[in-house]
Structure 1
Amino acid sequence: MKFFYFLFIFFFYAVSAQKVRIVDAENGNPVSNARIILRDQIIYSNEDGFAPLGQDAGDFEVSASGFQTEKVPVFIAEIKLKPIYKNIDEIKIINVDIRKIFDDVSKNYDKRYYNGPSLYDVVYKEKNLDNDKLFFLVIAEAKLWSKNNRYNFKDGIRKNYDDILQMQLNNVKYFKNDKSGTVLSGRTDEFSHEQLGNFFLNYELYRMQQHLKMKECKYSGRLLFEEGDEQVIAFKVQSGNGAQMEGEFKYNKADKVITYFENHYFQSDYPTMKKTGTDGREFMYKLGDATLIFDFYKKDGVYVPALTRLEGDKFTFFYKDEAHVRKFSREIIYNTFNKTDKGLDPKVNFKVGIWENVPVKEEKTETTLLSAEEQAFVNQK
């Protein structure tokens, strides 16, 4: 059974809910994707820096890429994060062998990250823009079950997705697809081997290792910041096949774990290709830039995922005399973590579009807030 109805906002909640705002202590700008670790839950700030948080919250931790971690004893309406550095040019250059770190973390992945069956309450968020106009948005509460919190290549290639990851829709909070805002669809809704792999850090590390092993590859790493056992390391990679990557990661040198990883792929120099859309129309297509982000935290002595995020920009479709520049993002926030051997039933069939699956209704405490742009898109007729 397919569902094509829209589930819109509980407007009263959006107006009256308690919330906190995370800002840059230097300039007051909102900090998006700031992580808040509560006693039994993880939440993140939206693009405007807001996160749903009750006034009874206390003794929580707030962190974000590029900022120092803050311990907050009692609720305050605005939390200011201090940048770890003001000007990257002022940083003392300390070279780091990133290949050695990536190889070591990959080799010992199952020892350093939780590798047993686990169940998560998650928020799944996906949106797409065409020429800077938002045309697709979905935010859903769901459950994710993972067999060992890593990507298994054999199962992935064989499309045995349920042996790697299972998903159950619980509550599709917002779902809107304004087809008038776009003219082309360049992909099918079926999950692919690579799409599922992008859920897992070990898949991304494997991909990085393949680039670093190439004969003509050039790479560098340098230490940006260090406090206690935590290091922030920036890196650049120019692969032997012409791919260019740049990013940074947080590394716990005591546990030898990458706790945050952000990698930007610069692909706009690749040649334009001819493609055929799902409706049979031919068009020209140019790759854009992509970003992958993975965030982990330590709970009960083990490292478990807090967030995975995939972003794309400047992916361009040329059709007739028009150019359509696409921007997209897919984000999963792992609100809770529990160890369990039991998989999900029913579960999403990844061989069809996710939103063709029927949700299993389950009301939960609100863990996400719409940005102003998303709110305007949902409200428009």
Structure 2
Amino acid sequence: MFSQKIKIIDAETLNAISNARIISTNNVYYSNDDGFVLLPETSKNLEISAYGYETLKNQDYNTILKLKPLYNQIDEVKIVSIDFQKILKEVSDNYTDIYYNKPIIYDVEIKQKAFENQELKVLMIADGKFWSKNGMYNSKDAFNDNFDNFVQLQIDNLRYLKTEPYQNFVREKKPKISHDNIGDLFLHYELWRTHRLSKNKGAKISGKLINEDEEDQEISYSIKTDSSYVYSGKFIYNKKDKAITHLELDFTQNKSEPRIYKDENGKEFKRQLGNGIIIFDYYKRDDKYFPSKISFKTKGFKTITESQTFEYSSSRDVIFKSFETTDKKGLENPVKINQAYWTKLKISDDKGDVLLTNEEQKFITDKNININKNDDEN
């Protein structure tokens, strides 16, 4: 079966649409940052959707697919307040009735990137399998560092791995990886955390209904816990199924005071928190909802020394391409999901159907960068 490159564009501006989802015969695909995606030529009855655009259904294969922007937004003067806390809590409380909650194995594609001072330093693209016990985060197992009890990742092919040395000269003991790194893989975890933040004493909150049709409501929300931390975003709420099918959580922390640390030689340096966004996409199959993509992006995190400032950003995308239900209690060869597992893997000669962006292709083909170097500090 041959795959060809197609492009998803805005029907009016003709601009490329990134992160457009294409569902075809129970397989999930996403357009990259340049709007391109590889699809089998035999693809039929495509469903193409993207946030802010009308969904195309039963669309046949074509090398260019156009999406029309949504226009039926509520006039600003008619925007009404809505109790987003109540929706978050109801969805969280009824999670197992809405989302698939039994053992399952997904075929996934994972991409991670890291930047220092706007320069790409790490690119890792792999595919493999993702096992989940019930689609939920288990805080007790996580606290005891037993992530394998409820989530496992297996890498079948490390398609691309390239690293460039960081310029940051600060050396310190590695901090323990936050459990958020794993929690951010689960919608249930984010619903719980966002609702908890909104209930903090003194938190200033607001929720607005900004768009509505027969099926869905688009809701924006904001949570300001103090002058330094703001959490905001939007989500799509299916009124009939009482399900959240798209969630975006933006966190703004760059107005907080830098924190003082000491390096391994006892010399002080500062760390400045930055901002980020977490995005979840879900779709319905039969009577349950399944994840199609989870994205996590950060920017503006800084290490500050007496002589220099180093700014960092990063991203992680997990595409859940297909799935099969299972009675297995895990995967055959899981990696340590809460570590930089790719440092010990061999790069595959088979690049599969990975479609690099222009930026990624330039990074890979730049001969000044050592493609075989694995930086285990990231």
TM over 0.5: yes
Q: How many residues align?
A: 365
1:292-371 equivalences under 5 Å are 292-342=278-328, 343-350=330-337, 352-358=339-345, 366=353, 368-371=354-357
Please report how far the alpha carbon of residue 288 of structure 1 lies from its aligned counterpart in structure 2 after TM superposition: 0.5
Who is 1:95 aligned against? 81
Larger mean CA deviation between 109-118 and 268-277 belongs to 268-277
Which amino acid in 1 is paired with 2:136?
R
Q: Distance in 1 between matches of 2:149 and 2:265?
A: 32
Q: Distance in 1 between matches of 2:236 and 2:123?
A: 30
Who is 1:49 aligned against? 35
1:120 to 106, 114, 135: 106
Q: Distance in 2 between matches of 1:122 and 1:87?
A: 34
Who is 2:90 aligned against? 104
Which amino acid in 2 is paired with 1:51?
V
Larger mean CA deviation between 25-34 and 309-318 belongs to 25-34
Which amino acid in 1 is paired with 2:238?
N
Matched, 1:235 2:221: yes
1:61 to 47, 57, 81: 47
Please report how far the alpha carbon of residue 303 of structure 1 lies from its aligned counterpart in structure 2 after TM superposition: 0.5
Who is 2:70 aligned against? 84
1:272-311 equivalences under 5 Å are 272-276=258-262, 282-311=268-297
Q: Distance in 2 between matches of 1:36 and 1:160?
A: 35
CA contact (8 A) 2:197 2:225 kept: yes
SS of 2:78's equivalent in the other structure is coil
1:123-138 equivalences under 5 Å are 123-138=109-124
RMSD: 2.6
Once the two structures are superposed, residues 287-317 of structure 1 have per-residue CA deviations (whole angstroms, 9 ceiling, x without a partner) of 0101011111111321011111110011111
1:179-194 equivalences under 5 Å are 179-180=165-166, 183=169, 188=174, 191-194=177-180
Which amino acid in 2 is paired with 1:347?
P
Label 1:341 to 1:132 Cα distance change in 2 as closer, same or farther (>3 A). Answer: same
Label 1:122 to 1:87 Cα distance change in 2 as closer, same or farther (>3 A). Answer: same
Which amino acid in 1 is paired with 2:292?
A
Once the two structures are superposed, residues 80-134 of structure 1 have per-residue CA deviations (whole angstroms, 9 ceiling, x without a partner) of 2222249887573022110000010111111111000000010011001111110
Instruction: Give me the TM-score of the superposition, normalised by structure 2.
Output: 0.89
Q: Distance in 2 between matches of 1:289 and 1:185?
A: 23
Q: Distance in 1 between matches of 2:150 and 2:183?
A: 10
Q: Distance in 1 between matches of 2:176 and 2:163?
A: 18
The gaps in structure 2 that reach 5 residues or longer are 368-378
Who is 1:172 aligned against? 158
Label 1:57 to 1:212 Cα distance change in 2 as closer, same or farther (>3 A). Answer: same
Q: Distance in 2 between matches of 1:20 and 1:32?
A: 12
SS of 1:18's equivalent in the other structure is strand
Q: Distance in 2 between matches of 1:28 and 1:277?
A: 50
Label 1:333 to 1:188 Cα distance change in 2 as closer, same or farther (>3 A). Answer: farther
Who is 1:255 aligned against? 241
Please report how far the alpha carbon of residue 161 of structure 1 lies from its aligned counterpart in structure 2 after TM superposition: 0.4
Instruction: Give me the TM-score of the superposition, normalised by structure 1.
Output: 0.88
Once the two structures are superposed, residues 215-251 of structure 1 have per-residue CA deviations (whole angstroms, 9 ceiling, x without a partner) of 3122122222222212211111212585211211111
Label 1:220 to 1:74 Cα distance change in 2 as closer, same or farther (>3 A). Answer: same
The gaps in structure 1 that reach 5 residues or longer are 1-15
Please report how far the alpha carbon of residue 183 of structure 1 lies from its aligned counterpart in structure 2 after TM superposition: 4.6
Once the two structures are superposed, residues 266-301 of structure 1 have per-residue CA deviations (whole angstroms, 9 ceiling, x without a partner) of 111111012356898753110010101111111132
CA contact (8 A) 1:134 1:181 kept: no
SS of 1:336's equivalent in the other structure is strand
Label 1:305 to 1:359 Cα distance change in 2 as closer, same or farther (>3 A). Answer: farther
Who is 1:28 aligned against? 14
Q: Distance in 2 between matches of 1:169 and 1:377?
A: 22
Label 1:365 to 1:380 Cα distance change in 2 as closer, same or farther (>3 A). Answer: closer
